[in-house]
Chains A and B, each alone.
Chain A
């Protein structure tokens, strides 16, 4: 990266005094729903001073994005907005479109979640930034263009002058988000709103973008309202945090205080439910129930139905945001902050009898798996112009009752690997052995029988359940496919629903009548119907809210212990993997680069990529998050269409950057092989010894 991006911790008092640049008072937003008006925001007060970062946290549907959109005046006309939004003293609510346009982009600017749809695909990136400059400043075309290049340089885009002529589709996701940030800061706004700016990005890219946001804030001195569901991101960025639930701010405090001593039971629950990459065996305490439907809100405290401390008074009066000093909480009786004491810890029967790993029967073995997809060109006569090496040398090994976490960023070939395993056919190259039988030797009949032993749970629980089938039929489907009798199906269906924490009476309902977490439970029940030995979980909790995700993770843990299942758990979320996996395999560009027991890999990563990945994961703990060492990987992964002879990571590798010329030649020439580091531990790096020890998990504040 060419821009100077130093990692300055943001602790300490911000430029807190002086008038607030953004002052939101009593903001209420309602939408027309099918059953009358639905409140989305029910009275929110926020103040933002110059140079301050305010984190707005909440689960989906809590109204955090609506606050940001209402501030920008970007809500649809049908929305009913009441209250007051002042930017540096100017009231925005009720302003006409013309007057708003003069303020949007100049005084207040926004960074959206999806960088692809925030850029116009048919215009060059540089022109779009120049347009943003010219919209508010009376400058010449050339001047605006030069400013655009400067801005691109500021946000760390290499060769900004050349890149300004590129179209958005030629940019990677991270670069697009940089360009959007460049547009947002083009006119030195007073307030910068960032709505989930890194949610669509990979962990290593997320770390870069957060850094760019820090730079942008520092350069412009703007106040930043950071909207996110990710407590880790908030912990690393925010000076103050406001927690939203059901359209209201339920707790607001300086970041360090909020994370250390939360007062509202919801915040306590949220912090107890989020898995952390630096603490493995802390049990997760899910918040029971799911977020309320906003048009069916109860009369009193919105959180009361889920609150373990709910008293009679909670059901009648809605508590106001009160407290001493900076720390405000909306709770009638703020409890002592100990999540473990407040929420019931799920019973956890500790490990089965310890059998040496080598003696356990193998469930899945994958050796040197490869899969390429043709790239075709031409119109009428399509010819093969090259190959995408989606999977290029993957090794996996799962024993009975074991959980293997498969970690990698998007495009690393995780999903392709899964599909290749589940296809139960001869792979393009390498070998897949399921329950001791090689898939290349299976007959059709044997493959069909083996399908019962390996089942999959998909990422999106809504998409993976047929919307037109009752849940009972959905759960029974694999049984029927394996030729089970009617009586078996009728007996197993209620059993399975109860096993995953649903009720047998739910069998007649349709998927859309369930909440996200319940749908995922249905998906798990379906996978368990035929008593598989291996469950493939493809990002099973990434579509769920934190408070619900903990329940599903605990369920998976319990099922594994009760049924002796083996999991292949694919995830991009290292904290979740750390929590649930026994062993971990890290993939980069279609190859496993490191594998081993999860504690060892997280404590002492051997591959520079693993190390960078681990250092990029945000930890929901401001003190730790701000003082640990971060390794920022430069750039993006190279294209999978090119297959170079050497190590594919070397372009971004911090170790490679510090090597002597003759050593570098080795990385360029020779593909690193898996090297053993102790039992059951491998890493594919020529210079693994030089990956130094201090890691984020070992670091102390």
Chain B
């Protein structure tokens, strides 16, 4: 049957492998392939590095300054950046550097955790509803619709004062619980179409356990959507935290978050720019880094995406336009 052994479809760089030890131990699994592709994508690496730096800044940065985010320096009101107050002071003499870093720490945690919890919840519930169908689907869909018509703001407003003692983690939970439904509905409908695909049917006929099918076949195939959705959810979570904090729920003074700082400083953006732009700049940087990371992760998990042609295409187009 050697006559019909077709040569490998991919590029010619693979042909030498034929002679190189065919008995390589375990072929690289999905996780390792994804990791390698992730490390090979410049966007993803930049995103991850910036995110890491932000964490470093948020957690180690406050130790570099003598000021605490609650300290008030009555000798310096509305002062611009100086050697004493690196990023200036607020109108009541608080150190902006200390405040922004404290706020950044809170926002990083809230943004990432809410997006993570909401996406995990949405993907598992949505995929199970879509995959199992029948009564599971009906009950779950009903529950999702119920949560969607609940006035989330009102519920958080009522519940959050009672959870004040448990701190910001409870707040993260509340934001996540009201932020997953639409994603879940999309995942459910995507799962329903995936379920009709032959490879899922093949797995069923092999006797693969249903939950295993959900985690091995369904979720990886909706991962592109989940990642994009999660990166958007990060920014959304920071924003909804700001809104809630403004109305007196969520992060309360003297505690601060990036959201509350931006809200406080926005009216002074033109007159005392340091009160606004440091917080806003870090938020933009944070969301951008998450998006870069998300894009890289999506490409790494999708073996059909290829980065090189896109670059070549751009190059070719440039060449083509030149006379």
Answer whether A and B are interacting partners. Answer: yes
A interface residues with partner B (beta carbon < 8 Å):
34-36, 286, 288-290, 343-344, 346-347, 422, 448, 451-452, 455-456, 458-460, 463-470, 472-473, 477-478, 480-482, 490, 493-494, 501-510, 512-515, 517-518, 526, 530, 548, 550-551, 554-555, 558
Known pairs A448-B207, A468-B301, A518-B6 / 19 extra A-B pairs, C-beta < 8 Å: A34-B310, A35-B309, A35-B316, A36-B316, A288-B5, A289-B7, A290-B6, A452-B207, A456-B202, A458-B201, A465-B199, A468-B220, A468-B302, A470-B27, A494-B23, A501-B1, A505-B22, A555-B1, A555-B4
Q: How far is the CA of A460 from the CA of B198 in the complex (A)?
A: 8
Most chain A CB within 10 A, of B4, B202, B223, is at B4
Tell me if B60 is interfacial: C-beta within 8 Å of chain A. no
Determine whether the beta carbon of A478 is less than 8 Å from that of B198.
no
8 nearest A-B pairs in the assembled complex, by CB-CB distance: A507-B27, A464-B198, A551-B4, A34-B309, A451-B207, A472-B27, A510-B303, A463-B198
Determine whether the beta carbon of B199 is less than 8 Å from that of A512.
no
Determine whether the beta carbon of A513 is less than 8 Å from that of B10.
yes
CB neighbours of B1 from chain A (8 A) = 346-347, 501, 554-555, 558
Size of interface on B: residues with Cβ below 8 Å to A: 49
Determine whether the beta carbon of B6 is less than 8 Å from that of A515.
yes
Determine whether the beta carbon of B30 is less than 8 Å from that of A473.
yes
Determine whether the beta carbon of B207 is less than 8 Å from that of A514.
no
Determine whether the beta carbon of A514 is less than 8 Å from that of B9.
yes
Number of residue pairs spanning A and B whose beta carbons lie under 8 angstroms apart: 148
Q: Answer whether A468 and B221 are a contact pair too, CB < 8 Å, given A344-B3, A555-B4.
A: yes
- B292-323 at interface with A (beta carbon < 8 Å): 301-304, 309-310, 312-313, 316
Which listed residue (A466, A473, A482, A493) contacts B207, Cβ 8 A?
A482
Determine whether the beta carbon of B28 is less than 8 Å from that of A508.
yes
12 A–B contact pairs at CB < 8 A?
A: A35-B313, A343-B3, A422-B205, A451-B207, A458-B198, A468-B30, A468-B223, A477-B203, A481-B206, A503-B8, A504-B22, A505-B20
Q: How far is the CA of A563 from the CA of B239 in the complex (A)?
A: 63
CB neighbours of A505 from chain B (8 A) = 14, 17-18, 20, 22, 24
Q: Answer whether A508 and B33 are a contact pair too, CB < 8 Å, given A477-B203, A503-B18.
A: yes
Tell me if B162 is interfacial: C-beta within 8 Å of chain A. no
Determine whether the beta carbon of B4 is less than 8 Å from that of A288.
yes
Q: How far is the CB of A498 from chain B (nearest CB, A)?
A: 8
Which listed residue (B22, B23, B199) contacts A464, Cβ 8 A?
B199
Which listed residue (A347, A451, A466) contacts B217, Cβ 8 A?
A466
Determine whether the beta carbon of A506 is less than 8 Å from that of B8.
yes
CB neighbours of A289 from chain B (8 A) = 6-7
Determine whether the beta carbon of A512 is less than 8 Å from that of B29.
no
CB neighbours of B28 from chain A (8 A) = 470, 508
Q: How far is the CA of A658 from the CA of B208 in the complex (A)?
A: 54
Most chain B CB within 10 A, of A346, A468, A515, A530, is at A468
Determine whether the beta carbon of A509 is less than 8 Å from that of B17.
no
Determine whether the beta carbon of A463 is less than 8 Å from that of B199.
yes
CB neighbours of A506 from chain B (8 A) = 8
Q: How far is the CA of A472 from the CA of B309 in the complex (A)?
A: 26
Which listed residue (B10, B22, B221, B223) contacts A466, Cβ 8 A?
B221
Determine whether the beta carbon of B221 is less than 8 Å from that of A467.
yes
CB neighbours of A468 from chain B (8 A) = 30, 220-221, 223, 301-303
Q: Answer whether A451 and B4 are a contact pair too, CB < 8 Å, given A35-B316, A463-B197, A505-B18.
A: no
Q: How far is the CB of A578 from chain B (nearest CB, A)?
A: 20
Tell me if B26 is interfacial: C-beta within 8 Å of chain A. yes
Tell me if B25 is interfacial: C-beta within 8 Å of chain A. yes
Which listed residue (B4, B202, B216, B220) contacts A458, Cβ 8 A?
B202
CB neighbours of B18 from chain A (8 A) = 503, 505
CB neighbours of A343 from chain B (8 A) = 3
Determine whether the beta carbon of A526 is less than 8 Å from that of B202.
yes
- Considering only CB atoms, which chain B residue lies closest to A512 in the complex? B304
